Amino acid sequence: MKSETQVIVRPARNLRGSVSLPGDKSISHRYAMLAGIADGPSRLENYSTGADCTSTLGCLRSLGIKWERVENAENAIAVQGSGLALAAPSEPLDCGNSGSTMRMLSGILAGQKFASQMTGDESLSRRPMQRVIAPLTAMGAQIASENGRPPLRITGADLEAIDYEMPVASAQVKTCLLFAALFADGETRIVEPLRTRDHGEVALTSFGAHLDRHKNEVRLRGGQRLRGLEARVPGDISSAAFFLCAAALFPNSQLTVTSLLMNPTRARLLDILMQMGLRISVTQLEETHGELVGTLQVQGGKLKGALIAGADSAALIDEIPVLAAIAPYTEQGIEVRDAKELRVKESDRIAAIAANLRALGAQVEEKEDGLKIPGGQTLRGAELESFGDHRIAMAFSIAALRAQGETLMRGSECAAISYPKFFDTLEGLVER
């Protein structure tokens, strides 16, 4: 097991400066997998530095896909696509902490001519996989699991297209099925209950696939070949969320975020923060390979409260931890509803948020599918737990910036799952 580290976070006065984020985690996984099954070479710049995306690269290598880090280029990887047929791995594929790796890659493995096994760490081993097992089985793959949880043993098959209404709103599942659809005979149709992030659809198009989209429905015909891509991954908005929320804590903050992913299915946080009182202006907006990228200028202000419910809860699923962590400092507080998916993330995030807020001395009401956090509270620094969950470690390091006294975050090393340089970058932006 990896050794635990801890960080001390001291209160801050302000956030000032300019930051550009490592490549978006969701896009990095998808680009790497599609580059692996494309015909010909791809070059991916600003590839996510997170350990999760390295897990994806490790799995791809075990499947015979050749890739290397490009020398003298920051976080660029060159991938030599294998085409749709991969090589049988000699060992189980280690997905580490990454649910995205396991769920999305299962769509590709389901269409291979061999059997393979996917494993993960303790946290990933608790996460629900029935959501990919059921539809992939309906397409013809055989998948053995531990009662719907990892490890997964996938025996690939000649897949049949499927017409599938997803019971859970999950972009990972949608992407998994679109990947499987490439290998299937006929046209696959997927309908999602709510619109989730569309990086799978956008990336497939960039790699040369044709798909049809209409509202919550996407259709893709099997047998299409992909071509390689040269692209730069836009900055991760879910990582930027920590700095945006930190800036929101102090009226005198001034922050610039350059080359940030602004895909409308990911940028709901910006609307919510603006409604709450943060002043955000966007410049240099451009589209690259179907993804919007822009520069943000952010100024602090008074922070009102917010209600996050329904489609917003799905759209903000990765940003709710940090919004909840700053909720006590808002005027009216924040209520989160319809977010029971948070209970099956890298940790039970509803329980983790409630535990850390209470440790900081805050009032919080924990519900089965959300939280109610009153505003106008004063918090005091405390000893907090990351629960081995990167977003919890980072979210509560932000809350600590406005607490009275120091906060100790235990298990802070897990921030590296999505953002290894998070604490260094934060230190560079805070003024005390």
Catalytic residues: 318
Biggest CA–CA distance in the chain, Å, is: 61
The separation between CA 72 and the C-alpha centre of its own chain, rounded to angstroms, equals: 27
Residue showing tokens 């200028």? 297
The residue range among 68-76, 166-174, 203-211, 350-358 that interacts with ligand S3P, by the rule CB under 6 A, is 166-174
Segment interacting with ligand S3P (CB under 6 A) among 139-147, 164-172, 305-313, 407-415: 164-172
The DSSP code for 185 is: B
Read off φ and ψ for residue 213, nearest 5 degrees: -125, 135
How many residues touch ligand S3P (CB under 6 A)? Answer: 10
DSSP-assigned beta bridge partners for residue 47:
none
Instruction: State which residue, 197 or 289, has the beta carbon closest to ligand S3P.
Output: 197
Q: Which stretch binds ligand S3P (CB under 6 A): 169-177, 265-273, 351-359, 362-370?
A: 169-177
The position carrying tokens 């290894």 is: 420
- The contacts of residue 71 (CB under 8 Å, 6+ apart) are none
Question: Cβ 423 to ligand S3P, closest distance in Å?
Answer: 20
Task: Name the nearest CA neighbour of 96 among 423, 395, 322, 414.
Answer: 414
Nearer to ligand S3P, 21 or 362 (CB): 21
| Phi, psi dihedral angles at 219 (to 5 degrees) | -125, 135
SS3 223: coil
- The residue length of the chain stands at 432
CA-closest candidate to residue 356, choices 330, 317, 391: 391
Amino acid at 74: E
Q: Which of 49, 100, 123, 313 lies at the binding interface for ligand S3P (CB under 6 A)?
A: 100
Site pattern 187..216 for ligand S3P (x: CB under 6 A): ----------x-------------------
Does residue 317 bind ligand S3P (CB under 6 A)?
A: yes
Compute the least distance from the CB of residue 202 to ligand S3P, in Å: 12
Selected binder of ligand S3P within 42, 48, 172, 188 (CB under 6 A): 172
In whole angstroms, what is the distance from residue 222 CA to residue 182 CA? 4
User: Nearer to ligand S3P by C-beta: 249 or 267?
Assistant: 267
Residue 318 sits in the site that holds ligand S3P (CB under 6 A): yes
Region of 81-89, 165-173, 255-263, 365-373 interacting with ligand S3P (CB under 6 A): 165-173
Closest CA to 225 of 31, 32, 30, 40: 40
Q: Report in angstroms how near the CB of residue 398 gets to ligand S3P at its nearest.
A: 18
Please check whether residue 56 is in contact with residue 98, taking contact to mean a CB–CB distance below 8 angstroms. yes
**Of the candidates 76, 95, 171, 336, which one interacts with ligand S3P according to CB under 6 A?**
171
Let me know if 210 is exposed, middle or buried by CB neighbors in 10 A (0-12, 13-18, 19+): exposed
**Contact between 396 and 356 (Cβ < 8 Å):** yes
Shortest approach of ligand S3P to residue 286 CB, angstroms? 22
26 binds ligand S3P, rule: CB under 6 A:
yes
Write each residue from 276 to 305 as x if it is in contact with ligand S3P (CB under 6 A), else as -, in one continuous string: ------------------------------
Which of 170, 295, 407, 425 touches ligand S3P (CB under 6 A)? 170
Rounded CA-CA distance 239/241 in Å is 5
By the criterion CB under 6 A, which residues form the site for ligand S3P?
Answer: 26, 100, 170-172, 175, 197, 317-318, 341
